[in-house]
Structure formats: C-alpha cells, structure tokens
Amino acid sequence: MRKPIVAGNWKMHNTVQESIALAKYIKDGIAGTEKTEIVLAPPFTALYSVSAVIKDTKISLASQNIFYEDKGAYTGEVAPGMIKDAGCTYAIIGHSERRKYFYERDEDVNLKVKKALATGLTPIVCVGETEEERVKDVTEFVVGVQVKKALFEINSLNNIVIAYEPVWAIGTGKVATPMEAEEVHRFIRGVLSEMYGSASTDIRILYGGSVTPENVGELIDMEDIDGALVGGASLKPDTFLGIIRKVSEKK
C-alpha cells in the first residue's frame, strides 16, 4: 500500500513571516487527512522557521534543491547536511525550472540524488517532457532517459519519490488528463521494474502540473498516481488544503 503524498512547492515566494503564517494555516487545517502525507517546500530562507511550526506534526519539510557536495568553496550553494540541519527530510531534485534556468543536467540530478540519499534525505526526483517533445511523440523516450540517468548507480528504490511533471503543464493551467498522466506513470513504473524488479511496485510516483482541488480527484483515482506535487495552488492555503482533503478522501 503506497501512502499518498501531497507536496507543496512554494518556489521563490514568501518571506519568513509569510511562510510561518502559511505553514500554521496548513497545520491547523489538516484534521481528518491522516491517510495523506504532507510535505512543504518553502524557500531556503524559511526552512528553519517552518520546521519549528510543523514540529511534532505529520507535516514534513523539503528543500527545493540541494548541492551535491558536503561543504566547500561553492558560493551560493546549500549542502544537503545544512538542509537536514534546518529540519528537512525531503529534497526536491531536478525540477524543470532548475533544468531550464540553471542548466541542470541529468548527471547533476544523479549526483544530487546520490548525495541526498547518503545524507538521509528522501529525494523527490522530477522528470517530464516539454510540449515540443510531447508533440513529437517522444515523451516515453525522454522520461525514460531522465529516470534512468537520475538513478544511475543507485541500487535501491528505498526512500526515493518520483514526480512526473510534464513541463507544459507546470504553471500553465493546462493539466494532463488523468489518462495522459496515468500512461506516463505506468511507463515509469515499468522502467523501474526493469531496473529494480518488484521493488518498483512500492515506489511513490507523484503527478505535478496545474493541480487544483477540482482536478486532483480524477488524477488520484488512477492506479499509478500516488499523490501530487503542487506549485501555484500550494500558495493558496484553502486551495492547498482542498487538494489534501480530496486526496485523503480518494486514496
């Protein structure tokens, strides 16, 4: 049985005080959603403050990125140990915005996933095709390569979460249909099954891309969709709570 996850990626939004207020609102509104795991990913500057708000609750904390070295002269980067020290148990890795604006390659994603695991953080590994790739009908090829390269030389799927996020659906309001999403989730599980055998049945694969309380119900009804990575809607407290409640009702 795979416990569903709803993760909120706040991206580059919210001051420390705004982050604290949003986290408190979520914390106070999650009664009755025990079946769903909740992860919040505030900006780096608010991680420690949010960790204090969610202490002793079922809400977990994620960073939106990590670096793949433990320490050193890497101006502007944040080490996995520092992320953990700030209270995180998860790290989002390879988000399409990191790939697009900061030129993260699959090789970087792989180094980060390895370092996250070595540090005791659970990576949420993001993969997904662009609109152009979908139109060219190379979605499976692209996503398959991303998954294999992200997990290169990693010999267990323990403590790994995958997020399938079609780039064309992120922040656009153009959500994948439940079938479109399910097909890619099933494909990813198949790739993992070739790599890891039966362990692939337990890994959680989240869908991300314009998720709302209105569309999450049909997505979560799909067999291979185990939750949602939510961007824009996670900044609106009642909307995010609506997504969490819907997932809890359904799974």
Among 231, 241, 243, 245, binds ligand PEP (CB under 6 A): 231
Cross-strand bridge partners of residue 38: 6, 59
Does the annotation mark 165 as catalytic? Answer: yes
Residue 42 makes contact with ligand PEP by CB under 6 A:
no
Among 26, 62, 176, 211, binds ligand PEP (CB under 6 A): 211
Overall residue count recorded for the chain in this entry: 251
**CB crowding 139-178: b at 16 or more within 10 Å, else e:** bbebbbebbebbbeebeebeebbbbbbbbbbbeeeebbeb
Among 87, 166, 209, 227, binds ligand PEP (CB under 6 A): 209
CB of residue 165 to ligand PEP, shortest distance in Å: 5
Among 4, 87, 123, 208, binds ligand PEP (CB under 6 A): 208
User: Looking at 95, 104, 182, 185, which residue is catalytic?
Assistant: 95
DSSP secondary structure code for residue 177 in this structure? P
Give Cα 164 distance to the centre of its chain.
8
Does the annotation mark 129 as catalytic? Answer: no
Residue 9 makes contact with ligand PEP by CB under 6 A:
yes
Q: How far is CA 16 from CA 47, 50, 162, in A?
A: 9, 8, 28
By CB under 6 A, name the binding residues for ligand PEP.
9, 165, 170-171, 208-211, 229-233
Residues designated as active site: 95, 165
